[in-house]
Structure 1
């Protein structure tokens, strides 16, 4: 297991570029297949839907509790 000092040394620091400070991860380019991209978008929409359903159910239960 890495110690904290080893871990922090391996992680690049934030890059100062004039007024804008960018995360080093903004510099990394990754490639996805179209199938991976579609799956990620589908998963995001699914979990957003789940969140909205739970949020609505929570609001309904609060109203029921108040009455």
Structure 2
């Protein structure tokens, strides 16, 4: 059974590298999450999700925290 890791994923260069590295080099099941504070459009969120899966994420979630911010 693979170890699991949760990655706060913005879709930028740093977190994209981390997702791929953790998945391919370290062999983890990578679960990604993005916190939407209101700065992302629906199209942005779909692109971030697609990129997370392309980089090896097992599961991705977009957390709607707009009411908190």
Q: TM-score, normalised by structure 2?
A: 0.24
Which is helix-richer, 1 or 2?
1
Q: TM-score, normalised by structure 1?
A: 0.24
Q: Rg bigger for which structure? A: 1
The structure with higher relative contact order (CA 8 Å, sep 6+) is: 2
